[in-house]
Amino acid sequence: MADSDVIDRFTAFLRDRRLPITQQRLAIAAILLRAHGHMSADDVAATLAADGQKVGLATVYRTLDLLVSCGLAEQRDFGEGFKRYEPMHAQPNHYHLTCTVCGAVAEFFDERIPDIIRRTAAARGFVPGQHRLLVRGTCRACRKTPSVLDRRPM
Amino acid sequence: MADSDVIDRFTAFLRDRRLPITQQRLAIAAILLRAHGHMSADDVAATLAADGQKVGLATVYRTLDLLVSCGLAEQRDFGEGFKRYEPMHAQPNHYHLTCTVCGAVAEFFDERIPDIIRRTAAARGFVPGQHRLLVRGTCRACRKTPSVLDRRPM
DNA sequence: TTTTGTGCAAACAATTTGCATGAGA
DNA sequence: TCTCATGCAAATTGTTTGCACAAAA
């Protein structure tokens, strides 16, 4: 639950691999893991900069990779032309509703979906791994602006 | 059904907008629309080149955009770092099973999924537009190689 | 003959990499 | 002190754009 808990998991991971526990790594982990949204590498760097810490973008990318490797974060692609990183303390398996007007991302889960996938896959001899479901649309707040800007890849 | 049918729709679209019907446009449309898979811009250019026709990559991109605009193709992002284009003569709404070993893409559809989405969205005041479901895993043929290469964005 | 397209090369944006220097253990 | 990380700048990759020339209407 506590932030420090997650940071501890990260430091344990680093120690385990005999990798230095640097200020930058801790700062980046703190920013991403404390965030509720889905941040881009740039978002992380900007937050860091706003905080007075200047960390190179390359370091941000490298550290985000580490967080992904140890399972504390996941890379996401919403088809925006860049990637976002999602902290993994949330539900392990969930789907996304993204608003094409304001960019807000809401999450939901329905266990019927993995079930449908399991059956469909089994019927074709396909062994399913991860899956994702992305729904684009308009959130309650933006309802008035239906958004025709939906020519992005799915 | 016939290829020429789809090409006709494309030429009609061009004529309608008073846009020139060029050899390159016809060649690109023919290649993409005849394809069963999901091709990248590079794939299209390579096929064209193998055919003796040399068309600039920029033209390929521009024409693929046109095909998307007129609804004959859709842009897809499988998280590979580049985009693919899918001809739209197939089922209008379907989901993807992609093999992380060989890259094969299979399609399926299950009407319970749009249903679940409609209900979930309604419950939150979200107006759903398009949605997509992507399942990664291992296809029957590649079953023996479970693929640990799954650190790509979802 | 007047659009609009095409090809090429340069421009771009996100991400990665090489390398000299600096910080952790 | 030895290893590995960092920062910067250069390199890479997919895609887009500007512009002189060429093809379609």
- The model's pLDDT over A56-110, given as tens digits with 9 standing for 90+, comes to 999 999 999 999 999 999 999 988 889 999 998 766 679 999 998 888 899 999 9
Q: How far does the CA of B15 sit from the C1' of C4, in Å?
A: 13
* Same domain? A61 vs A128: no
Determine contact: B131 vs chain A, CB below 8 A. yes
Reduce the DSSP state of residue B24 to 3 states and report it: helix
Task: For strand C, give the nucleotides within 7 A of a protein CB.
Answer: 3-9, 13-18, 23-25
* Same domain? B63 vs B96: no
* Same domain? B81 vs B109: no
* Same domain? B86 vs B96: no
User: In sequence order, what are the residues at sequence separation of 6 or more whose Cβ sits closer than 8 angstroms to the Cβ of residue B55?
Assistant: B24, B27, B28, B45, B48, B49
CATH number, domain with residue B28: 1.10.10.10
* A110-119 confidence digits (pLDDT tens): 999 999 999 9
**What pLDDT shows up at residue A79?**
84
**What pLDDT shows up at residue A50?**
94
* Same domain? A95 vs A84: no
Q: How far does the CA of A30 sit from the C1' of D5, in Å?
A: 18
**Who among residues 81-100 of A has its Cβ near strand C, under 7 Å?**
81-83
* Same domain? A118 vs A59: no
Q: Which of A77, A120, A129 sits opposite B100 (nearest CB)?
A: A129
B51: phi then psi, degrees, rounded to nearest 5: -85, 0
CATH number, domain with residue A122: 3.30.1490.190
* Same domain? B106 vs B69: no
* Same domain? B35 vs B104: no
Q: Is the pLDDT of residue B119 over 60?
A: yes
Residue B57 burial by Cβ neighbours in a 10 Å radius (0-12, 13-18, 19+): exposed
Joined tokens for residue A107: 């999450």
* Residue A24 CB in 7 A reach of strand D: yes
* B56-95 confidence digits (pLDDT tens): 999 999 999 999 999 999 999 988 889 999 998 766 679 9
Determine contact: B134 vs chain A, CB below 8 A. yes
The answer to whether the CB atoms of B121 and A135 lie below 8 A apart is yes
Q: Is the pLDDT of residue A148 over 60?
A: no
Q: Is the pLDDT of residue A17 over 70?
A: yes
**What pLDDT shows up at residue A102?**
85
**What pLDDT shows up at residue A150?**
64
Q: Is the pLDDT of residue B149 over 70?
A: no
Among A37, A63, A90, give the residue marking a domain's end. A90
Reduce the DSSP state of residue B137 to 3 states and report it: strand
The domain tally of chain B equals 2
Residue A20's pLDDT band (boundaries 50, 70, 90)?
very high
Low-confidence winner among A13-22, A35-44, B31-40, B140-149 (lowest mean pLDDT):
B140-149
* Residue B119 CB in 7 A reach of strand C: no
The answer to whether the CB atoms of B137 and A126 lie below 8 A apart is yes
* Residue A19 CB in 7 A reach of strand D: yes
Q: Which of B75, B140, B151 sits opposite A153 (nearest CB)?
A: B75
User: In sequence order, what are the residues at sequence separation of 6 or more whose Cβ sits closer than 8 angstroms to the Cβ of residue A57?
Assistant: A41, A42, A45
Residue numbers of the domain that contains B18: 1-90
* B30-50 confidence digits (pLDDT tens): 999 988 879 999 999 999 999
Which of A133, A139, A140, A149 is the best residue to mutate to test the B interface, defined by the most B CB atoms within 10 Å of its own CB?
Answer: A133
* Same domain? A99 vs A136: yes
Which is more confidently placed, A2 or A116?
A: A116
Low-confidence winner among A3-12, A84-93, A120-129, B94-103 (lowest mean pLDDT):
A84-93
* A27-52 confidence digits (pLDDT tens): 999 999 988 879 999 999 999 999 99
* Same domain? B2 vs B73: yes
Among B90, B105, B139, give the residue marking a domain's end. B90
* Same domain? B43 vs B117: no
Among B68, B90, B112, give the residue marking a domain's end. B90
CB B41, CB B57: distance < 8 Å? yes
* Same domain? B64 vs B116: no
